[in-house]
A and B are shown apart, each in its own frame.
Chain A
């Protein structure tokens, strides 16, 4: 049994992964999956509507699932359909997350009224909107870095509501009766309406109702053009260029001039009518017809959108996260019982998760056309990936489940961190001008990130040393020596990569900003990592520390790296200030506290360590 257990575990894990990668299926009669694959331009990138739905939900409520009032779970694209076409229904979905008690009080809401104690619907919020707006305007004047939690919550909720209302101006004019039907009959009715309006303007007899319709339409179009969030209407010619895509309002305005409706706008109107009219067959036919039309002109773009939608549904990083933490538990258990079987099992699990994460990162690279690290979210993914890659090497060399345990824990933690970094919007974002250089992104950013990975790995290996030595009897001489060698080797690796990465950053800065070194907080943070790693090496060579001292220093490296990666962003100053996270500050403090506690525990006299007491 023990011999085949690892292979059974491998097969089970592989099957679980394959199951997660299956194509998404429609729960009912509507082909919502196909609708989710339709392309739109948002934030400078052409992406599937499915991505827009998911990232918007993450911004509104921190998760992608929506629960309808009747308890049924809804796919993000289905939520989007209701927001776009059935606003009254959508107003009842509890998708706005509010946690701050003062904000709840201001809106006359209680925790009990929210789904999960924190999610509220537009209907529940509507009474408090004027006050919310007033408070948000007051908070706007305060610099974001110094806002109180109340002010930050208020601003965030207000911005979320604006996003929501922008959706409602994206495909259907809000506040007009029967906009969609009117759109479907647009071309037929337009000449008569225009004639009526012209006649009214020149004071001649006219059909008042038609003229009024025309005026209303004009006002609606203007509103949609200003506020529409989606830009789903490609130009008639040259669809492959993002620059020509328009939002529905802009396209309609064009149509008013030419007298002809853009076919895409017509398609979305018919889709909307079918959705509103509860006509699944009609809905599916319209979606399919529109898609077939696009496929003739932009097959490449559509293929990218299909892959992205599939990627969204698969959620590879969620799956990896679960596998990593299980691998960690299995590896830790292997130090207590069944070492051979369990350590190999943990290794296979770790490897599977690593391959899945690699594939996920690879898909992201292909979708964006960029090297793997382009923003804070992708840096978190890559830090985890790099550390796990190093752990694979360590485990292959030492075969003592230490590599697997470290990989499981680091993989899990970095993916959780990444998940929280994804709550701000689309993580496949466009690169700002100075970052628009694949060369530097591929060299400086990757090298520095690998440096982070390695420093964290050294720190986590040291935590394993301290944990096993203090609390278990399993840290025998052989294991202790192996760990000491591992940590030393990884610190050497970290020194090289963090130094080279920092240097490459300096060269990039020289090409960009005119100076190699500017004492910018991020630069200082990176320098401190290099200096700390160098300090560890020099202290070791000078005989100032032995194994335990090495471990304590390596654990401190975790604090140093976290400061450089996240802490400096929170200062709010400097050229690298691109991510300020409120709740992130407390998690950072918690992590730092935990590492300080570990260092102090490690300082306990050696005869208090269970492993060394046993030997003595």
Chain B
């Protein structure tokens, strides 16, 4: 037993393990890069890096064929820490290496935390528009809003996992059950042909969907294509069904209906996250180089408001210059509608400072380490030729 433990320890602290782990990491990164052409960057991150193993489907089975990012990163951290603990002898000559490896551990941890905690959203603002929410890039929700009261709206949002499960939901605030009859993560929505469409594509009995047919499509991973989620939703009251609606991100206007003396709206939209502040787009600028379409600068002039009046100011967001506010960072990401719509990327990443700290530590360590080597090398060469040879 002692021999086994000793051999394990020797393995964990060995440089051979380091070399093997680095080589495996290179192979993993290369495979992920090549696969990006096929499945897009988000899927690659899930499949190769934010996982313990890379799986390959063979028929019905999923085989783990290669260690994933968490495994390799974790083993590298263990190898690093154990090697240092085992051989720890602090000396100024080795100070550089300690710094480098310490910084490396921080870097790996930083990437781990980012993978776990980072959230990304977007905000699309037309010129003059004010919004107090940001929207998810990928996940959708069904929003059923009670708009009877002129002073405020009450929104019930049903998140995507529930939609995907095609479940039936009963919620205290709603006087009807919500039954998700079908959910298509990507779909094609068209005008209904007079005959021939399969029944499940033309389920809608009320609202805008009565003129439309929706058919599921495979998910697209192409960089410049978007997935268009749609869902057929039936609302069932105490006296029976109110009807089946077709909801889709393509149907920008929410559909209205009345029930139980109250006015409602129903829509499928990208999940919203409401914020304790609002942004108004005052002006979006798209400067081009004279006589060309080559973009020189994109910038959005934004008014930032909080309902309690504490913040009321103008900010300018442009390339390489984001707005950092309330634990979020707002970047100029894109534009639309002939330069009248600005698209901001909103990121929450509590561990954003870690990479900066880690890299500063590592750079210092590398410079110290190689500096010591270089000085030693130059000193040796300064010795008389007979001694050096």
Residue pair A519, B345 in contact (C-beta under 8 Å): no
- Docked-complex contact A512 and B41, CB < 8 angstroms: no
Q: How far is the CA of A521 from the CA of B325 in the complex (A)?
A: 30
B165 at interface (Cβ–Cβ under 8 A)? no
Task: Name the B residues within 8 Å of A525 (CB-CB).
Answer: 33
**Is A434 an interface position by the 8 A CB rule?**
yes
Q: Which residues of A contact B114 (CB under 8 A)?
A: 515-517
List B residues 258-312 near A (Cβ within 8 Å): 288-292, 294-298
Contacts of B289 in A (CB 8 A): 43-45, 242, 430
Report the Cα distance A237→B349, complex, angstroms: 51
Provide the residues of chain A in CB contact with B363, threshold 8 Å: 499-500, 503
Most central of B18, B289, B329, B347 by chain A CB within 10 Å: B289
- A514 pairs with B297, CB closer than 8 A: no
Docked-complex contact B347 and A515, CB < 8 angstroms:
yes
CB-based contact A532/B370 at 8 Å: no
Among the listed A503, A510, A513, A544, which residue makes an inter-chain contact with B352, where contact means beta carbons less than 8 Å apart? A510
A531 within 8 A of B: yes
Q: Note all chain B residues with C-beta closer than 8 A to A245.
A: 290-291
Asked if A243 lies at the interface with its beta carbon under 8 angstroms from chain B, I say yes
Q: Shortest distance in angstroms between A292's beta carbon and chain B's nearest beta carbon? A: 25
Assess the A433–B296 pair: CB atoms within 8 A: yes
Task: Give chain A residues whose Cβ lies under 8 Å from the Cβ of B359.
Answer: 503, 506-507
Q: Which residue, of B33, B322, B367, B377, has the highest number of chain A Cβ atoms within 10 A?
A: B33
- Contact A571:B370 (CB < 8 A) given known A242-B291, A514-B347: no
Q: Is A107 an interface residue (CB 8 A)?
A: no
Q: How far is the CA of A534 from the CA of B22 in the complex (A)?
A: 8
Interface status of A524 (Cβ within 8 A of chain B): yes
Q: Does A535 contact B (CB under 8 A)?
A: yes
Judged by a CB distance under 8 angstroms, whether B82 is at the interface is no
A231 within 8 A of B: yes
Closest chain B CB from A544 CB (angstroms): 6
Q: How far, in Å, is A495 (CB) from chain B's closest CB?
A: 7
A578: shortest Cβ distance to chain B, in Å? 13
Contact B36 A528 (CB under 8 A): no
Contacts of A574 in B (CB 8 A): 36, 41
Cβ of A467 under 8 Å from chain B: no
Q: Are B320 and A538 in contact (CB under 8 A)?
A: no
Is B29 part of the contact surface with A, judged by Cβ < 8 Å? yes
Q: Which residues of B contact A485 (CB under 8 A)?
A: 377
Q: How far is the CA of A403 from the CA of B166 in the complex (A)?
A: 69
Across the interface, which residues of A come within 8 angstroms of B29, CB to CB? 524, 527-528, 531
B355 contacts partner chain A, Cβ-Cβ < 8 Å: yes
- Other-chain contact of A436, B22, B297, B329, B367 (Cβ < 8 Å): B297
Q: Does B362 contact A499, Cβ atoms closer than 8 Å?
A: yes
Choose from A241, A492, A524 the contact partner of B32 (Cβ within 8 Å): A524
User: Looking across the interface, which residue of chain B has its beta carbon closest to that of A560?
Assistant: B26
In the complex, whether A324 has a CB less than 8 A from a CB of chain B is: no
> Provided the pairs A42-B291, A436-B319 are in contact, do residues A573 and B26 lie with their beta carbons within 8 angstroms?
no
A271 to B223, CA, bound (A): 50
A518 to B44 CA separation, bound complex (whole angstroms): 11
Q: A531-B26, A532-B26 are in contact. Are A573 and B223 (CB under 8 A)?
A: yes
Would B44 and A514 count as touching, CB distance under 8 A?
no
Which of A433, A508, A521, A535 contacts B298, CB < 8 Å?
A433
With A397-B381, A496-B366 known to touch, is A542 a contact of B290 (CB < 8 Å)? no
B329 pairs with A514, CB closer than 8 A? yes
Residue in contact with B331 in the complex, picked from A493, A495, A513, A535, CB distance below 8 Å: A513
**A531→B19 contact, CB < 8 A:** no
Given known A499-B363, A542-B16, A571-B34, contact A41–B120 (CB-CB < 8 A): no
Q: Is the CB of A204 closer than 8 A to any CB of chain B?
A: no
Confirm or deny: B356 has a beta carbon within 8 angstroms of a beta carbon on chain A: yes
Binding site secondary structure of chain A: helix
Tell me which residues across on chain A come within 8 A of B44, comparing CB atoms: 519
Look across to chain B and name the residue whose beta carbon is closest to the beta carbon of A503: B359
Residue numbers in B under 8 Å from A565 (CB-CB): none
Residues of chain A within 8 A of B34, CB atoms compared: 571
Q: Are A489 and B377 interface neighbours, CB within 8 A?
A: yes
A-B contact count (CB 8 A): 162
Taking CB atoms, residues of chain B closer than 8 Å to A516 are 110, 114, 352, 355
With A242-B290, A510-B352, A514-B331 given, is the CB distance from A437 to B36 under 8 Å? no
Cβ contact within 8 Å between B19 and A542: yes
A432 to B320, CA, bound (A): 12
Closest A residue by C-beta to B291: A231
Q: Which of B294, B298, B345 contacts A430 (CB 8 A)?
A: B294
B64 within 8 A of A: no
Interface residues of B in 15-39 (CB under 8 A from A): 15-16, 18-19, 22-23, 25-26, 29-30, 32-34, 36-37
Over the window 432-446 of chain A, the binary record of Cβ atoms lying under 8 Å from chain B Cβ atoms (1 yes, 0 no) is 111011001000000
CB neighbours of B291 from chain A (8 A): 41-44, 231, 242, 245, 247
A573 in contact with B36 given A245-B290, A519-B49 (CB within 8 Å): yes
Q: Which of B322-364 contact A (CB under 8 A)?
A: 322, 329, 331, 333, 345, 347, 349, 352, 355-356, 359, 362-363
Complex: A506 Cα to B356 Cα, angstroms: 9
Given the complex of chains A and B, what is the CA–CA distance between A518 and B32 in angstroms?
A: 12
* Contact between chains at A43 and B292 (CB < 8 Å): yes
- A511 interface contact, C-beta 8 A: yes
CA distance A231 to B322 in the complex (A): 35
Asked whether A218 is an interface residue with its Cβ less than 8 Å from the other chain, the reply is: no
A520 on the B face (CB < 8 A): yes
How distant is the Cα of A11 from the Cα of B122 in the complex, in angstroms? Answer: 64
Q: Quick check: is B255 within 8 A (CB to CB) of the other chain? A: no
B320 partner, pick from A500, A508, A534, beta carbons under 8 A? A508
Q: Inside 8 A of B356's CB, which chain A residues have their CB?
A: 507
Is the C-beta of B148 less than 8 angstroms from some C-beta in chain A?
A: no
Q: Closest CB of chain B to A160's CB: distance in Å?
A: 19
Let me know if B160 is at the binding interface, CB within 8 A.
no
Which residues of chain B from 30 to 79 have a CB within 8 Å of any chain A CB?
30, 32-34, 36-37, 41, 44-45, 49
Interface: B127 (CB within 8 A) = no
Q: How far is the CA of A241 from the CA of B295 in the complex (A)?
A: 17
Give bound CA distance, A123 to B93, whole Å.
Answer: 74
Contact, CB under 8 Å: B355 / A542: no
A492-B370, A507-B359 given; A243·B33 CB < 8 A: no
Judging by beta carbons under 8 Å apart, are A541 and B15 in contact? yes
CA A430 to CA B321, docked complex, whole Å: 20
- B14 contacts A by Cβ under 8 Å: yes
Are A433 and B18 in contact, CB atoms less than 8 angstroms apart? no
Tell me if A568 counts as interface (CB < 8 A to partner B). yes
Give Cα A435 to B243, complex, Å.
53
Q: Which residues 535-553 of A have a CB within 8 angstroms of B?
A: 535, 538-539, 541-542, 544
Interface string of A473-515 (1 = CB under 8 A from B): 0000000000001000100110110011001001110111111
A572 at the interface (CB under 8 A from B): yes
B94 within 8 A of partner (CB): no
In the complex, A489→B45 CA distance in Å?
35
Chain A residues within an 8 Å CB radius of B45: 519
Q: Are A514 and B322 neighbours in the complex by a CB distance under 8 Å?
A: yes
Q: Whole-angstrom distance from the CB of B369 to the nearest CB of chain A?
A: 8
7 pairs, A vs B, C-beta closer than 8 Å: A242-B289, A433-B296, A514-B345, A514-B349, A519-B36, A531-B26, A571-B36
Q: B: which residues have CB within 8 A of A? A: 14-16, 18-19, 22-23, 25-26, 29-30, 32-34, 36-37, 41, 44-45, 49, 110-111, 114, 118, 120, 223, 288-292, 294-298, 319-322, 329, 331, 333, 345, 347, 349, 352, 355-356, 359, 362-363, 366-367, 370, 373-374, 377, 381
A residues engaging B (CB < 8 A)? 41-45, 231, 241-245, 247, 397, 429-430, 432-434, 436-437, 440, 485, 489, 492-493, 495-496, 499-500, 503, 506-508, 510-521, 524-525, 527-528, 531-532, 534-535, 538-539, 541-542, 544, 568, 571-574
CB-based closest 8 A-B pairs: A44-B289, A542-B15, A242-B290, A514-B347, A503-B359, A433-B295, A516-B355, A243-B290
Known contacts A510-B352, A541-B15; 4 additional CB pairs below 8 A are A44-B294, A518-B41, A528-B29, A535-B26
